[in-house]
Amino acid sequence: MRILIIRFSSFGDIILTTPVINELINKYPDAEIDYLVYKKFSDAITLNPKIKRYYYFDKKMNRNRKYISDMIEHLKMENYDYVIDLHSKFLSQYIGKKMSKKCNAMYLKYSKRKWWKSVLVKMRIIRYKADRSIVESYFTAVKKLGINYVDEEIDFYFSDETEAQMVEKYNLKNRKYIVLAPGASKVTKEWIYYEELANKITAETDYDVVVIGGKEDYLKVKETQRIQNLAGKLNFKESGVMLKYAKFAVTNDSGPFHIARAMKIKTIVIFGPTDPKMFTYNERTYLLTSGQDCSPCSLHGDKKCPKGHFKCMKELTHEKVYDTIIDKIDN
């Protein structure tokens, strides 16, 4: 049996497809699974031993008809039995349906929230409310195969070589440190007190702080003797290694949150405008919000607070987050 999974972006959403992959292999142990993804986000899924082959789509070619047509023609030659669309937007549906017809494959896509609900949320007529977790939604794509949602044990992989290099370079096995990930895809999803938290951790405990994220996150936390700012200096795989050896992590609703879950380390995740019910939480994950009546207000976050006060992030203090770390880190 040959299966193609389509999920183009983003880092976190791609990582969240791994429970579906695991259940596909549980049901069809001999299946060959390929994955179509934007090259930009491929680190989220590469090196997964359950994936046989990766196809990288150049995001810049989204509107190039010849490029898309050539991709479809190439993929149809693989003679897939199933094409599973875990992105379920115009491009993934167009490619998935076209190539499925050409190679006589069954096209399956996951059930997203009703389009009109998203429109009403954007118009501020209703508040956003998750109908189910993202992973639960992904499993709707494979319901016809008799595969049902089980859990949200997610996977993330990096090479032994990358791990060994990181361990040696940063002395990870002999360090006591907490990882902070201050970035997010939208500014309204970013908690604003990471620098204050980093300073309090290093002033009042014997833990060092390591900051990870994109280069745009570098200025969010000032580097000191015990605060190492590696934002923009590590790739996604290297960030995974850094999280694996950390004692604790603090993140926003962002990709590093899902890597931390996969690494099974204790993690505080901070939510403001988005709905925490998009995910499930285990005994190692601690959800913090400021409890505002107007939250959640957005599906993916926005460029600015629709009410202009940003209380959902401003009123969650660094003292509250610090106290949670101290309470949970050794328990």
The predicted pLDDT at position 130 comes to: 74
The predicted pLDDT at position 119 comes to: 64
> What's the one-letter identity of residue 228?
Q
Share of the chain above pLDDT 90, in %: 89
The pLDDT of residue 305 is above 80: yes
Task: Please enumerate in sequence order all residues whose Cβ is within 8 A of that of 222, keeping only pairs 6 or more positions apart, or say none.
Answer: 195, 229
Q: At what angle do helices 236-244 and 255-263 cross, to 10 degrees?
A: 50
Contact criterion met (CB below 8 Å) for 31 and 24: yes
Mean pLDDT of the chain: 94
Contact criterion met (CB below 8 Å) for 15 and 138: no
Confidence of residue 301 (pLDDT cuts 50, 70, 90): confident
Mean pLDDT across the stretch 231-245? 98
Contact criterion met (CB below 8 Å) for 286 and 328: yes
The predicted pLDDT at position 118 comes to: 61
pLDDT in tens, 243-296: 999 999 999 999 999 999 999 999 999 999 999 999 999 899 999 999 999 999
Task: Please enumerate in sequence order all residues whose Cβ is within 8 A of that of 247, keeping only pairs 6 or more positions apart, or say none.
Answer: 176, 177, 178, 207, 265, 266, 329
Contact criterion met (CB below 8 Å) for 176 and 185: no
Q: Which domains does the chain have, with CATH numbers?
A: 2-145 (3.40.50.2000), 161-328 (3.40.50.2000)
Report the range of poorest mean pLDDT among 4-13, 115-124, 218-227, 273-282.
115-124
Report the range of poorest mean pLDDT among 78-82, 280-284, 311-315, 323-327.
280-284
Q: Which residue, among 235, 248, 243, 303, has the nearest Cα to 273 in the 3D structure? A: 303
pLDDT in tens, 208-234: 999 999 999 999 999 999 999 999 999
The predicted pLDDT at position 117 comes to: 60
Alpha helices in 180-317 (DSSP H): 194-204, 236-244, 255-263, 311-314
What SS3 class is residue 294?
coil
**How many other C-beta atoms lie within 10 A of the C-beta of residue 122?**
13
The predicted pLDDT at position 83 comes to: 98
pLDDT in tens, 34-66: 999 999 999 999 999 999 999 999 999 999 999
Confidence of residue 302 (pLDDT cuts 50, 70, 90): confident
The pLDDT of residue 115 is above 60: no
Report the range of poorest mean pLDDT among 10-14, 148-152, 253-257.
148-152
